[in-house]
Structure formats: structure tokens, C-alpha cells
Structure 1
Amino acid sequence: MDSPPPQRRLQSLVDDAIREILLRKPPDDPARLVRASAVSTAWFGIVSDPSFFRDYRTFHGKPPILGYLDNKSYESHNVAQFIPTGAFRPLVCERRNWDAVDSRHGRVLFYTPKEDTDFIVWDPITDKQQDACDHLGCHDGPFLVAFMGSNEVEKTMFASVYSSETTQWSEMISIENPHDIYPFATNTCPYAIEEKGHTAVVGKKIYYPVKWSYWTMKIVTYNVGEQELSLINLQGQAPARGILMGEEDGALVFAAIKESKLSVWSMEAGPNGVVARGQRRDIKLETILTPRALSWMVGETFKDGRCTLVGFANGAGVIFLNTADGLFTVEVGSGQTKKIHRNCSFETVIPYVSFYSREHARFVMPLQSNSYKK
């Protein structure tokens, strides 16, 4: 077999070198790869190749936290604000009369009752907005939006799922909430979904926290594939005031703060919907937080049982803590902490976690096609 011409071998070596350089671009600034893909058709081909994205994720490990969303209420309107944590900046950082409700797979879900549609899915990297799927602009393929609610009068919970492929909602299903779940609850409504709570997605199951008493935790599970609703009682398996934060490596992640200690543990769904206790990790807050933050938490939070856990970055293993000294992040695995905002008014934040992907490179191609260098 004839060997390739020297010029072709040289070009192949150059492409390999460029690929290795691009693989090392920091993932917390997607704009660098966007600009790289617009340099030439050759560079675009490298970045948009599926194997490059796989190797890029493997090289950098967990996806970076590019920012988080915070909902603010004013007298005349609401604002959903994207707050960057690094160099990345979306084209639009504030959305008036929008409420951010979730973020997964590099996209953000908003509740938009004052728009033509109730929900909008947004890609912060490309600024692409979707309330349906035309199979031309969707970067990560078709998506599903699960809706879960409760009727406190009828004491029922209901759910439905939207498909971007069919642009239709499924038939609503419901389940009754038994009266004997909370025999001692007097000041809580055991039939309501926790509005400021976090959800978790494991496979085709979505887990929603329910308002609980001091003694009991309750989770409602929505099986999207089977279109079933069920209730899970965590009494005796989770400490009082524990909070469902999200999911990590296929398991539910819970957290609680007590006596200057942040406890994080995971649970896996067992047979018949039973949830078994997983490995627990305790992080001493006095070793990672500033004195001002810790003194406020000891004097207020631990005294009456309130908690300052406001967010969890699925896939990155990072918890967000709101304190009087500002907003902090805590890496569950290492215990490392970082102050990311000086304000202390956060109630629930929605982290945005994403890698730059080849689909984003394809998005910029029509915009930059006239400027490509041959």
C-alpha cells in the first residue's frame, strides 16, 4: 500500500496537534471553543467531531458550573437572573416575568405564564429558546418536560409530561395522599408539593419532595415511562429536616445541617419502592466557612432548625449554601468551599452545569459560514 503524500501526513500531524490543544481549553469558558470552531473549516471539523466531545468530557471529568439562576420578585414583576461563576456570559442574563424552575442537560426550564406559552426551554450558550422541537435547532435532541402538582383541597397529587416531538402533554394522572401519613402534623400541609424544594431524576423516575412534619420526610415519585405516581416514606431512614438536593451517579442525594456539620448521604431505590440508606459524608463547617457565616448559622439556623441549603449542582457534586457572609459552594467530595456572591438573600438557586458540545459548534456554523477560512 502506498504511503500518503508528505503534505497530507504533515497536515494530519498539524490537525492532531490542534486537537490536543483544543482538548485542553478550560471547560468553564465555552466561548473559547465557539471561537475556535469559527477559525476555519478544519477547526470546525475537529470541534464538531463526536469523538472530540467524548474525549473532551473524559479529559476534564465532571462538567463545570457555568453559573446559576436566581428568581427575584418585585412589586410590578419577577426577574430570573443568570449569575455567572466564571468567564462564561450568556447573551441575555435577565429574563423579565420568567421564573427559572429547573436546569438539566445544558438547558434551563422557565415558567412563563405571561408569554404565549407556559414553559420555555433555553440554551444559555446559544441563546436558543424552544417551546417545541422542529428537529433543526435542537442541540441535544428531543426533550421531555414533566409537570407535578397537588390539590390541597382534594388531597391529591397529579402529573403529566410534555414531549417536544409530539408537542403534546400526556393525559393527567393522579394519586390520593392517605390521611394517616402525618398523624402528628398540625402546622404543615402534608398534601402539598414543596414549592422551594429540589427535584431529582434517576432514569425515567422523577422524585419530588413533599411538605413534611418534623418527624417525617415524604417523596412522591413520578415514573414517566410507566406513567405512575407513588409515595415513598423516608421515616427512620433520613434525619429530620433533611432535604432532597438532587441526584448523583444514579442515587438520590440528601443533605442536612446540624450542629456546625453538613451531612450528605445518598439513597438508592430498592425493591417495591423502598429506599435504602447509602454512604454518608459529614463536613465540619467551622473548618471551611468564614467566622461571620458560621456565627450566624450557629446563632440562628441551628437554633430553630432552619436550613441554608439552597442548591445542588447535579453532575458536579456541589452544594450551594446561603449565609450572612454571602453565597458559598461546597464540593461534596473534597469539602472545598468558595464564596461566589456577597449577597445573603438567596432562597433557591438553580445551578447551570454544562460542557460545550459539538451541537453548539453546529449552531454557529450558519452564522459564521461566510467568514470561514479555507
Structure 2
Amino acid sequence: MYDYGSMEFVVWDPITGRERRIHDEVPDVYTNHAVLCAAGAGCDHSGCSGGPFLLACVGLQGKIIVKAYGCIYSSEAGAPSVDPTYLGYIHFDHHECDLEDQSAALVGGALHFFGNSGILRYDVLGGRRLSVIELPPANFLGSSTIVMTAENGGLGLATLDGHYIDQWSTETGPDGNARWAHLKFIDLEPLLPAGSLKTPALSGFAEDANVIFMSTDDGTFTITLKSMLARKVCEMGKLNPVFPYVSFYTAAACARGTLAPPVGTQ
């Protein structure tokens, strides 16, 4: 979250209510953000709640030919861990490019932020480079689109076209370069209750659970891609975007006070 009054990034744990604040050194530049665990490569993320983290920020400025910026903030340093990265002028397929307000996908050590004219890739765990990935063919975009992890572990996209979800993923072509490949169509009519497909929208993706969130006038649903099962998780409709959050009760987390003990335990 962002506190415009104090010009601070607010990293909030919805389970404990704990907040961590980092001052924004360059206001009005960064528009999209992602939080990454900084506990180390061996962390399985079952007990790192409240631990060190990195806040990755990106932003675009300009029309058609735009400037792209990226920066990494450290919770321990409280300031940018590197100077803001300026990629330079980028051409986004002859269109103005705006980054969508949705979760980024972490694939191959890089964060991927979806924009209406391309995907901004930020190599946060490597050389801290910014680059642009073109979208699939021109007729690809539906009424709403999300970036996600594909079934093959690569970068994926899902777009809503009528009552179908159209899935794409990247693969390595014969020339060794990555390219988009169509995966499948998902027909939503057999999955969702009758009448719930009025003005639907793809609103989020939970990576570890491999679940897509969809908001409709009838409420918010999850669609598990492996089992193709749909479930209503909220009566409120038009929740867009959805930012999934996962937390675990562990002995270590309870001992250090990060989480309160579950009900019924001493």
C-alpha cells in the first residue's frame, strides 16, 4: 500500500496487522510494486512472515515512447539498495503503455508486470535489468488479462474472451529465443453458476495454489487450474484487483510472536 500523506510505502500483514514502512525517495515515479522474501535461497516461506523483505518498484513515464524505471528497497536498509535503474526509451508496439494495477508474476528470478501494450520484466534477483516482452498476436487481448506462472513453469498469460479464458505461455523456439505459445481455452459456462458471467473480470492469480480469481456481479470465484473446479469465495462482486495472501501457523512464528497461537492451544 502507499501512504500519500507521509510519502511512504506500507507493507501490511493482514493476519497480524503489523506494518512496515519505507520512505519513498522518488515520489510520483513508481506505480507498481511487489514484495519479495529476503530471508535467503533456503527459505520455504512457511515461517518468514515478519522477516526481512525486498520491495521492488517499477514505473513508466511518457507516451508511446516511454521511460522505464525500477528500484529495489530493502526493509533492513530502509532506503533503495541500488540506485534507480533507468532503462531508457522503450517502444511499446505503437501504443501508449500503462501498467495494470495487478500482482506481478515472479518467473525465473524476474518480476513481470503486465501492461496494455507489453510486459515490463524486472530482473530483481540477477542483474537488476529492465526489459520489455511483447504480447502475443494482436487479437490476443480480451476484456481483462492477468500475468501468471504457466503450467510449464514459464511466464504465462490468461485473458478473458466472452465466457472463455484463453491461456498462453512462453516456450523456447528452434532459434533458441522465447516465444508465445497458445495453451488452451477454458469454457467458464460449465464451471460457474448460471447468470454469474455478467461482466466478469480476471482479477488475480495465486501462484502456489495455481488458482485464478474471477470477479463477477454475482461474487468472486476461484478457479483451480489443475482440477478445473470453481468455488465462490466472496459474496462481494467486482473485487478487482485481488492480491492473494498466504500465511502459515508454525511453532517458530508463534514463539517469536509473529503469529498468535491458534485457538484452543496453550
Give the TM-score, by structure 2 length. 0.74
Partner SS state of residue 319, structure 1: strand
Structure 1's consecutive aligned runs of 4 or more residues displaced over 4 angstroms after TM superposition are 268-274, 365-368
Do structure 1's residue 164 and structure 2's residue 75 form an aligned pair? yes
2:235 to 342, 361, 374: 342
**Per-residue deviation at 1:143?**
1.1
What is residue 252 of structure 1 aligned with on the other side? 155
2:123 to 223, 227, 244: 223
8 Å Cα contact 2:253/2:259 also seen in 1: no
Letter in 1 for 2:227: S
Offset from partner CA, 1:137-190 (integer Å, 9 cap, x none): x746421100101112672010110012322202011123444x423x4xxx23
8 Å Cα contact 1:175/1:230 also seen in 2: yes
What is residue 28 of structure 2 aligned with on the other side? none
Whole-angstrom CA distance in 1 between matches of 2:89 and 2:250: 43
Give unmatched runs, 5+ long, in structure 1: 1-109, 213-217, 298-306
Partner SS state of residue 71, structure 2: strand
Question: Structure 1 residues 176, 270: CA separation in 2 closer, same or farther (over 3 Å shift)?
Answer: farther
8 Å Cα contact 1:248/1:315 also seen in 2: no
Do structure 1's residue 193 and structure 2's residue 99 form an aligned pair? yes
What is residue 151 of structure 1 aligned with on the other side? 61
**Per-residue deviation at 1:312?**
1.0
8 Å Cα contact 1:111/1:120 also seen in 2: yes
**Per-residue deviation at 1:365?**
9.0
1:325 to 171, 196, 218: 218
**Per-residue deviation at 1:277?**
3.7
**Per-residue deviation at 1:127?**
2.9
**Per-residue deviation at 1:355?**
2.5
What is residue 87 of structure 2 aligned with on the other side? 175
Offset from partner CA, 1:98-141 (integer Å, 9 cap, x none): xxxxxxxxxxxx222234x6112233333332237xx9xx7464
8 Å Cα contact 1:148/1:159 also seen in 2: yes
Whole-angstrom CA distance in 2 between matches of 1:272 and 1:118: 45
8 Å Cα contact 1:219/1:231 also seen in 2: yes
Question: Structure 1 residues 318, 235: CA separation in 2 closer, same or farther (over 3 Å shift)?
Answer: closer
**Per-residue deviation at 1:325?**
1.5
Do structure 1's residue 353 and structure 2's residue 253 form an aligned pair? no
Question: Where do residues 114-125 of structure 1 align in structure 2 (5 Å cutoff)?
Answer: 114-115=5-6, 118-125=8-15
Do structure 1's residue 276 and structure 2's residue 179 form an aligned pair? yes
RMSD, matched Cα: 3.5
Whole-angstrom CA distance in 1 between matches of 2:178 and 2:172: 5
8 Å Cα contact 1:232/1:274 also seen in 2: no
8 Å Cα contact 1:243/1:255 also seen in 2: yes
Question: Structure 1 residues 285, 366: CA separation in 2 closer, same or farther (over 3 Å shift)?
Answer: closer
**Per-residue deviation at 1:205?**
1.0
8 Å Cα contact 2:155/2:169 also seen in 1: yes
Offset from partner CA, 1:301-360 (integer Å, 9 cap, x none): xxxxxx610111121111111112221111111111111222323221111123323442
Whole-angstrom CA distance in 1 between matches of 2:248 and 2:175: 36
Whole-angstrom CA distance in 2 between matches of 1:270 and 1:353: 35
Whole-angstrom CA distance in 2 between matches of 1:156 and 1:313: 30
Pick 1 or 2: higher relative contact order, CA cutoff 8 A, min separation 6.
1
The share of aligned pairs that are identical, in percent, is 29
Partner SS state of residue 189, structure 2: helix
What is residue 205 of structure 2 aligned with on the other side? 312
Do structure 1's residue 288 and structure 2's residue 179 form an aligned pair? no
Higher strand share: 2
8 Å Cα contact 2:49/2:247 also seen in 1: no
Give the TM-score, by structure 1 length. 0.54
Question: Structure 1 residues 259, 164: CA separation in 2 closer, same or farther (over 3 Å shift)?
Answer: closer
Farther-moved stretch of structure 1 (268-277 vs 314-323): 268-277
